[in-house]
Amino acid sequence: MEQVSFVFPERTILTVSEVTERIKIVLEDTFFDLWVEGELSNLRTPSSGHTYLTLKDESSQVRAVLFKMQRRYIRFEPKDGMLVIARGRISLYEPRGEYQLVIDYMEPKGIGALQMAFEQLKAHLAQAGLFDPARKRVLPALPRRIGIVTSPTGAVIRDMLQILRRRFTNTHVCIYPVRVQGDGAAEEIALGIEALNRYPGIDVLIVARGGGSLEDLWAFNEERVARAIYQSSIPVISAVGHEVDYTIADFVADVRAPTPSAAAELVIRAKAEVQGELQALAERLQRAMRYRLQVLRSRLDACQQRRVLKDPWAPLRTLEQRLDELSARLARGVQARRRLVHEAVERYESALMHLSPAMMIILWRERLLAFDRRLSAAQRVRMRREREELERLTATLQALSPLAVLARGYSICRAGADGQVIREASAVAPGTRVDIALWQGQLQCTVEAVTTTGGGHGRTDV
C-alpha cells in the first residue's frame, strides 16, 4: 500500500504590538486626510491642555483628540452637543488598541468659527459687566491732548489728522503705532492703550482701524483688547471698520464711532463752532449784565425815596426808647423775682428746720422718755395686780392643799402594790398591809380586824 504524507506551510505568529502597528500603518495610510461631520460629546480637557472628545451621529461614534498645538488655532469654544465639521486623520492609540480621529481643524456647522467665537466672547464679557452702560463715561468737551492707537501708515491716520487740524489747530495728538491685524496685533493694541494711560495729560483715546473682513478686524475682538479698554482710566472711542462693522471693542468702549473719520469729528468740536458759541455766550452775558444793572438801579432809586434812608437815625431813636422801656421792665422783673426767691428760701429753711436730723433726734428723744415713763407706770400697775392675784391664788391653794388637811389630824391610807387609796373599810381584809400617810411621816401597818359601820364612821384597830 502506498504511503501518503501531508506537508503544511509554516505558521506566522505575530505579537499584539506587531498586529497593532500594522493596523495603524494601514489606517494612517488610508485615512490620512478626511472631513468628518458629527455632534460633540464627552468633552474633557485635562491639565495637559489636550482635548478629548467623541464625534457621534444617530447610529455610530468615533473617539477623537484635539492636541494642544492645534487647539490654539480653534477660534471658538467647543461645547457638548455642538454640531461641527472636523478635519483630521485616523490613527490608532496602541496602548488600548483603539482607533481615533486626530483633529487638525474644526468649525461649527452652519456658522463660521470666527462668528461663533465672537458670539461666545461677547456673551462672556457681557456677563462679566464690561458692557454695562452705567460705567460709560462722557467725553471731555474740549480735549487738549488726544491719544490715538492705530497703524502709523495708511489712509486712516492721515484722514484723522487732517480732520483734527481743520477742526481745531491747537489740539496735541499722541500716536501709538501698532499693527491692526495679524498675529500679535491684539497684544500691541492692548499695550498701546495701557501706555497712553500712563502718558501724562491725555484727555481721550481713539482706537482706530479701517474697514475689512471679520478676519481682518479680529484683533479688536480679542479679550486682551477688551480688558485693556475696560481698565482704561481715560475715556475711549472705538472707531473700527465701517458703519456696519461691529467689534467687541465697540461694546466695551465709552463711545462707538461708525468710522475713524467720524471719531475725529466726534472727539473735538470745530474751532469756529466753539468760537461762535463763545460769542453767543458773551452777548448773552452782556445782555444779562445790562438787565441786572437796570434792575439794581431801579431798586437804588426806590431805596433812596424811602423814609428810613432820609432819616436814618429815626429807627435808632425808636430802638433806644424801646431799650429803655425793656430795661425798666427787666429791673422790675428782677426785683419781683428776687422777692419770690427770698420767700421761697424762707419757706424752705422753715421746712428744713423741721426736717433737720438734730431736731428730729430731740423730738424722738422726748417721745422715747414719755414712752419710758408710761411703760414704767404700766409695769408697776401690772406687777401690783399680778402680786395681789398671786396672793389670792396662794391662799386658795393653801386652803385646798391635802397637806393642810393632814395638818389638822387626818391621814391617807393606801394598800396594794399600786398604792390605791382606801376609802372604805370593806375594801381590805384582815392581814392586809397598808401604808398610812400623816402630816409628818408615814406608817406601815397590818390590818388585824375590819369593822364596817354606816356613814363612813368605821373603827379600825391596828
pLDDT tens digits along 30-44: 888 888 888 888 888
For 16-110, the fitting CATH number among 2.40.50.140, 3.40.50.300, 3.40.50.1360, 3.60.20.10 is 2.40.50.140
Q: What is the mean pLDDT of residues 369-391?
A: 90
Q: How many CB atoms lie within 10 A of CB 410?
A: 12
pLDDT at residue number 459: 47
User: Class of 140-269 per CATH?
Assistant: alpha beta
Q: Answer whether residue 427 shows pLDDT above 70.
A: yes
pLDDT at residue number 461: 45
pLDDT at residue number 458: 44
CATH 2.40.50.140 residue ranges of the chain are 16-110
Question: What single string gives the DSSP state of each residue in 18-51?
Answer: HHHHHHHHHHHHHSSSEEEEEEEEEEE--TT--E
pLDDT at residue number 321: 82
CATH 3.40.50.10550 residue ranges of the chain are 140-269
Which residue type sits at 289?
M
The answer to whether the CB of 347 falls within 8 A of the CB of 341 is no
pLDDT at residue number 236: 94
pLDDT at residue number 270: 57
Q: How confident is the model at residue 231 (pLDDT cuts 50, 70, 90)?
A: very high
pLDDT tens digits along 116-160: 778 888 888 888 889 898 989 988 888 889 999 999 887 888 889
Question: What single string gives the DSSP state of each residue in 203-265?
Answer: -EEEEEE----TTTTGGGGSHHHHHHHHT-SS-EEEEES-TT---HHHHHSSEE-SSHHHHHH
User: Which one has a higher pLDDT value, 10 or 193?
Assistant: 193
Does the pTM exceed 0.75? Answer: no
Tell me the CA distances in angstroms from 302 to 245, 291, 307, 308, one per residue in order.
Answer: 68, 17, 11, 12
Q: Answer whether residue 283 shows pLDDT above 80.
A: yes
Tell me the CA distances in angstroms from 197 to 149, 187, 191, 280, one per residue in order.
Answer: 11, 16, 10, 36
User: Which one has a higher pLDDT value, 111 or 288?
Assistant: 288
Q: Answer whether residue 69 shows pLDDT above 90.
A: no
Q: Answer whether residue 377 shows pLDDT above 80.
A: yes
pLDDT at residue number 118: 81
Please state, rounded to an integer, the average pLDDT across all residues of the chain: 83
